[in-house]
Copies of this chain bind each other. A is one copy, B any other.
Amino acid sequence: MAKDLVSNKRRVHFEPDNVDIVVEQGTNLLEAAINAGVRIYASCGGAGTCGTCKVKIEKGEVETTRTRKVSDEEFQQGIRQACQSRVLTDLTAYVLVESRLEKAVLSREDRKISEALATGWRLKSPLSKFFVELPPPTIEDNVSDLSRLLRGLKQRYNLSNMSVDFDVVKKLSKTLRDSDWKVTVSTLVTAARPRTGDTHRPRLINVEPGDTRNKYYSLAIDIGTTTVCGQLLDLNRGKVIAESIEYNGQISYGADVITRIAYCQRPGGLKKLQQVVVATINEVIDTLLAKSQVNVRHIGHVIVAGNPTMTQILLGLDPKYLRLAPYTPAANFIPPVEASSLGIKVKKRVYLFAFPSVASYVGGDIVSGIVAAGVHQRKALTLFIDMGTNGEIVVGNSDWMATASCSAGPAFEGGGIKHGMVAISGAIEKFSIDPLNLEPEIGTVGGEKPKGICGSGLINIIAGLLEVGVIGQNGKFNADLPSRRIREGNEGYEYVLVWTSETQINKDIVITETDIDNLMRAKAAMYAGCQTLARSVGVKNSDFEQVIIAGAFGSHLDIEKAITIGLFPDLPRDRFIFIGNGSLLGARLTSFSVDLLDDARRVAQMMTNLELSENVDFMNNYIAALFLPHTNAAEFPSVQKKLDRLAKDKVKRGAMV
């Protein structure tokens, strides 16, 4: 690596990715990593407060603003926060294993996801294909090419009153003649039952030579704050033929929607984040096409569901006002947009349909989940909880729905937790603890050596520690217990889950009192949200006939443990249903059935949003919920009974010892 002495260009080499980038001297090291394509996690978006973007400087020099997120020991080893470092010389930087994003999410193939609960819909995609053979023009019958096509469609399929995209007109004459007057047209409808004078009339969006009816695909995409999940759908057979998931590239610009919105306020920030998520979507599409061997030109439409921030950024709509009181989205109903105009690598004339949203933090992902779960189809009073980076709650049934969003924070996805991480290989998700010797037993995603703790693991750990009394109902450690795993660390008391030698990260993996505190706040926000919303509509917990848990996270959750820590209400366990990624599921179903698109609009319109951010009840409920499971034991009778019994057992055991 030759050093250029006369210029201020510096070459940065990243390990273990083995990629180089040349940057100006003084460039921020996190930006350099992002631009080099290094998959690095930066949950606070580069503010220096999360400590997740650590790298080890193996060669060369950086100028660093040191924060308390880097210990003395780490600092001496050359470990720095990339976001706080600027490049001085040519560098070699090693991205620590816990700072890396890995393409391993889908290794969790064992997901047990319920099928959709929505019923009664026809397999009738918004995208339809019609094949026609037209009589070639003669001097007696020389109507325009478009008139001929429309006449043929009317005669053969009784299709009429269509609007025609100009781009179709543009290539029509050539296509008709090249294909010897045998063509397949694609039409798009966005409603099954158009009202009079409605916008949802059939739209002629494409014309292809020959009979292509058997090649007829669409994409369903869930744009999550953390991950982008896509499915390639065969519309003829109503089947998923490939699935792919990638980290949302925006992760390097912040873990939650608030940091992303903040980033959009920088010059060029919105455009950058749009490009980044489009790049992720394109990666997902590449994988889907490679897996399925489908040609991209046979993809006829794209349905996306995401929260309002993700949706607005994708569409290039500044999300600024989503986070400023009084929290208004740009639009709840977005007109179909040509996907290629956003940079998505599909053909022209492929429209992207974004699920309608409800309010600033209640988005198309929730509407999609509700439709997939069929909440709108049943009289049963339902509590619907989507556990993403944000938590959204819906209460209602086929007659009415109320919704609220609570900023639980990123704890459920491992954010703000000392050894927190997303649920990829090496993340601790299973946990049990011997009540006698307080030794743990852990299980990781993919069975690898542990690297950190994911959200569901965190819940299992805290519930377990609570049950055996390692922590009290206030979330504080019982430091008197006789276990070398309970100790005082830099940030107060902690429990050692894994000793250094058994980890991938060369240090003890611990859970700290601060971590427990963070998770308690997150679960308190979720629970208080449910409580506040339910009470605002005059409903008690016991009224809920079903509780539907959505979110990729949801499907790995131990319901008993989640109730134990006070995350979900204390109801009979058989009322709980997991539907996994409800957002993706709804996107898929609506791609199969235009009936459900009607439902989605109806659902978005029927939902009443309760704004929690300035709600006094919510604040009171939140404070009351900052306890395990709750300050009001009567809210969690079965949990309290269990904890009392376990405590009694312990006393008994103590007496026996």
Chain A positions near chain B (C-beta within 8 angstroms): 137-139, 141-148, 161, 163-166, 169-170, 172-174, 177, 194-199, 201, 315-318, 320-321, 325-337, 357, 359-360, 609, 611, 614
Q: Which residues of B contact A321 (CB under 8 A)?
A: 145, 173, 177
**Copies of this chain, how many?**
2
Q: Which residues of B contact A614 (CB under 8 A)?
A: 139
Docked pose: A137 CA to B360 CA in angstroms: 12
Q: Which residues of B contact A166 (CB under 8 A)?
A: 315, 334-337
Q: Which residues of B contact A196 (CB under 8 A)?
A: 196-197
Question: Is the pair B198, A161 in contact by a Cβ cutoff of 8 Å?
Answer: yes
Question: Is the pair A164, B197 in contact by a Cβ cutoff of 8 Å?
Answer: no
Pairs across A and B, CB under 8 Å, 25 listed: A139-B327, A139-B611, A142-B326, A143-B332, A144-B330, A144-B332, A144-B359, A145-B329, A146-B332, A147-B331, A161-B197, A166-B315, A166-B334, A166-B337, A169-B317, A169-B330, A172-B330, A173-B317, A173-B318, A173-B321, A177-B321, A196-B197, A197-B197, A197-B198, A197-B201
Docked pose: A583 CA to B326 CA in angstroms: 53
**Chain A residues touching B, majority SS:** loop
Question: Is the pair A331, B139 in contact by a Cβ cutoff of 8 Å?
Answer: no
Min distance, Cβ A354 to any Cβ of chain B, angstroms? 10
Across chains A and B, which 10 residue pairs bring their CB atoms closest together, nearest first?
A146-B331, A142-B326, A144-B329, A163-B199, A139-B326, A144-B332, A137-B326, A166-B335, A173-B330, A137-B328
Docked pose: A552 CA to B105 CA in angstroms: 72
Min distance, Cβ A475 to any Cβ of chain B, angstroms? 32
Q: Given contacts A144-B359, A161-B198, could you give 4 more A-B pairs where the C-beta distance is less than 8 Å?
A: A141-B326, A173-B318, A197-B197, A198-B201
Q: Which residues of B contact A328 (CB under 8 A)?
A: 137, 142-145, 148, 173
Question: Is the pair B174, A318 in contact by a Cβ cutoff of 8 Å?
Answer: yes
CB nearest to A321 among chain B residues: B173
Question: Is the pair A145, B330 in contact by a Cβ cutoff of 8 Å?
Answer: yes
Q: Which residues of B contact A173 (CB under 8 A)?
A: 317-318, 320-321, 328, 330
Q: Which residues of B contact A357 (CB under 8 A)?
A: 144
Docked pose: A609 CA to B142 CA in angstroms: 9
Min distance, Cβ A209 to any Cβ of chain B, angstroms? 16
Q: Which residues of B contact A161 (CB under 8 A)?
A: 195, 197-199
CB nearest to A141 among chain B residues: B326
Q: Which residues of B contact A170 (CB under 8 A)?
A: 315-317
Docked pose: A318 CA to B178 CA in angstroms: 14
Question: Is the pair B611, A172 in contact by a Cβ cutoff of 8 Å?
Answer: no
Docked pose: A315 CA to B165 CA in angstroms: 13
CB nearest to A162 among chain B residues: B199
Question: Is the pair B331, A172 in contact by a Cβ cutoff of 8 Å?
Answer: yes
CB nearest to A327 among chain B residues: B142
CB nearest to A169 among chain B residues: B331
Interface residue from B143, B174, B320, B334 paired with A169 (Cβ < 8 Å)? B334
Tell which of A174, A201, A330 has the most Cβ of chain B within 10 Å.
Answer: A330
Docked pose: A494 CA to B137 CA in angstroms: 46
Docked pose: A325 CA to B139 CA in angstroms: 7
Docked pose: A320 CA to B360 CA in angstroms: 52
Question: Is the pair B335, A169 in contact by a Cβ cutoff of 8 Å?
Answer: yes
Min distance, Cβ A265 to any Cβ of chain B, angstroms? 13
Min distance, Cβ A360 to any Cβ of chain B, angstroms? 7
Min distance, Cβ A270 to any Cβ of chain B, angstroms? 11
Q: Which residues of B contact A147 (CB under 8 A)?
A: 331-332
Docked pose: A132 CA to B138 CA in angstroms: 54
Question: Is the pair A164, B335 in contact by a Cβ cutoff of 8 Å?
Answer: yes
Docked pose: A289 CA to B69 CA in angstroms: 63
Q: Which residues of B contact A330 (CB under 8 A)?
A: 144-146, 169, 172-173
Q: Which residues of B contact A325 (CB under 8 A)?
A: 139
**A316-B170, A321-B145 are contacts. A138–B332 as well, Cβ < 8 Å?**
no
Docked pose: A164 CA to B331 CA in angstroms: 11
Docked pose: A147 CA to B139 CA in angstroms: 52
Docked pose: A185 CA to B611 CA in angstroms: 30
Interface residue from B165, B177, B197, B320 paired with A335 (Cβ < 8 Å)? B165
Min distance, Cβ A353 to any Cβ of chain B, angstroms? 12
Q: Which residues of B contact A177 (CB under 8 A)?
A: 321
Docked pose: A328 CA to B198 CA in angstroms: 32
Min distance, Cβ A173 to any Cβ of chain B, angstroms? 5
CB nearest to A199 among chain B residues: B163
Q: Which residues of B contact A331 (CB under 8 A)?
A: 144-147, 164, 169, 172
CB nearest to A605 among chain B residues: B147
Interface residue from B146, B199, B611 paired with A142 (Cβ < 8 Å)? B611
Interface residue from B143, B197, B199, B326 paired with A138 (Cβ < 8 Å)? B326
Q: Which residues of B contact A335 (CB under 8 A)?
A: 163-166, 169
CB nearest to A360 among chain B residues: B142
CB nearest to A139 among chain B residues: B326
Tell which of A138, A317, A318, A337 has the most Cβ of chain B within 10 Å.
Answer: A317
Q: Which residues of B contact A329 (CB under 8 A)?
A: 144-145
Interface residue from B194, B326, B333 paired with A146 (Cβ < 8 Å)? B333
Q: Which residues of B contact A164 (CB under 8 A)?
A: 331, 335
CB nearest to A146 among chain B residues: B331
Q: Which residues of B contact A148 (CB under 8 A)?
A: 328
Q: Which residues of B contact A611 (CB under 8 A)?
A: 139, 142
Min distance, Cβ A401 to any Cβ of chain B, angstroms? 16
Q: Which residues of B contact A334 (CB under 8 A)?
A: 166, 169
Docked pose: A609 CA to B137 CA in angstroms: 14
Docked pose: A142 CA to B612 CA in angstroms: 13
Q: Which residues of B contact A201 (CB under 8 A)?
A: 197-199
Q: Which residues of B contact A169 (CB under 8 A)?
A: 315, 317, 330-331, 334-335
Question: Is the pair A359, B142 in contact by a Cβ cutoff of 8 Å?
Answer: yes
Docked pose: A174 CA to B312 CA in angstroms: 14
Docked pose: A609 CA to B143 CA in angstroms: 9
Docked pose: A530 CA to B361 CA in angstroms: 69
CB nearest to A202 among chain B residues: B197
